[in-house]
Structure 1
């Protein structure tokens, strides 16, 4: 196991989607930790997990496809794409919508990659036959609302058909993080990196069939934040030894 990734012997607290939304609100409004900082940390952790878990610490020359939605989950995946590209991977990015439909911070990440010359295409042109080594799922995060549709659904079907390792950011696209309900279609991940704190929906028996190995990544949430009156969550020093911790 990489020095960046540790196994956990701790029974972590588990939160639901409404609590994660409150964590995000407190981070921005009360602690002045901006979304772009959280996005950067999320993408960095995802890139490290992919590099260490799937490629023994070296992605040089590996063909990695990043699937990105237009929101925060997609933005984190685009950060991971930048990191992997910088480490020598041959990165291709496919998105659920064209550039003008991205929300501001994911758009910022999109334009960085565009300036770097990283190939970015709309999902209508997903590759049919290529030598792909891994896929990153950043299509839909905790904003999931019913069955994935359109390009999002096409990307999920395509990813599952590739028969290569899939790493999902925060949740496999198509999984409800609060209830653990599996929507259709749904990503069947080999590893899932959830963020900040484990989500309740990741621990149901059905969810475990699509989550693969479950990791949690540090996006630098202050421990004091969890003790705010709107949350009152007792935390442990879960990232003491590593930014990425394996849960199961």
Structure 2
């Protein structure tokens, strides 16, 4: 490993297994059912890493007065983006959250994260499209639950993000990109960078998908090496020893 200019260790993507969607679903299941590592813990790790990457890579670790737009769906990706919204707010950024559904449509851990965001006084918009100055956009609209073309408000927010000059940082996968097949649906986020979780997803490396991910980073959500070994996947134990964020090349 060697350090990149943005201060994260560098790892060859080809040196790691690439997960299918079914494998990622199994990782999530085993984390919770076999190891007792709850979704809340995984979501906190994902959101903390997303916030740190946004701050370091796109905001120069100087957050006072910086304008951050967070786009959040009601699933796990949205919950992780809401964690990042909370952290960036607490670090001094001006954060606004735009969700795809009303509050009562959220359930489980994402609903819990949305409640925290609202209690902190972070503006949450259910109806309009962002306007005004923006320094970075966080995309947590749709993860590996994608089924066909994004529709409705998610589609509108994707189109808005793609029209901005500010960088867009996607969580796990750019919204609109199928993590299994690599198919790019319409519309799909054209990310400046993607912060994928646990291990890179197969679809990120398709010829179409690779044009949408931008710089690729990998985040540690504390998946035990023994879990991967049980799936027949060989992972270097030193992968996250230097940092819980690594740059994939």
Is 2:122 aligned against 1:121? no
Distance in 1 of aligned mates of 2:236 and 2:106:
36
Q: Describe the superposition over 1:121-163 as per-residue Cα deviations: whole angstroms up to 9, x where unpaired.
A: 11x31123x0111100000000000000001101100111112
Aligned match of 1:210: 212
Is 2:65 aligned against 1:64? no
Aligned match of 1:173: 175
The correspondence for 1:8, drawn from 8, 11, 22, is: 11
So what's the TM-score if we normalise by structure 2?
0.95
**Deviation at 1:2?**
4.5
CA RMSD after TM alignment: 1.0
Q: Which runs of 4+ in 1 moved over 4 A?
A: none
Distance in 1 of aligned mates of 2:41 and 2:75:
15
Unpaired runs of 5+ in structure 1?
A: none
Distance in 1 of aligned mates of 2:36 and 2:136:
35
Is 2:22 aligned against 1:22? no
Aligned match of 1:50: 54
Distance in 2 of aligned mates of 1:225 and 1:158:
39
Aligned match of 1:220: 222
Aligned match of 2:104: 100
Q: Describe the superposition over 1:40-73 as per-residue Cα deviations: whole angstroms up to 9, x where unpaired.
A: 0000000000000012222221000000000100
Aligned match of 2:189: 187
So what's the TM-score if we normalise by structure 1?
0.96
Q: Describe the superposition over 1:69-99 as per-residue Cα deviations: whole angstroms up to 9, x where unpaired.
A: 0010000000000010011000000000000
Aligned match of 2:84: 80
Corresponding pairs, count? 243
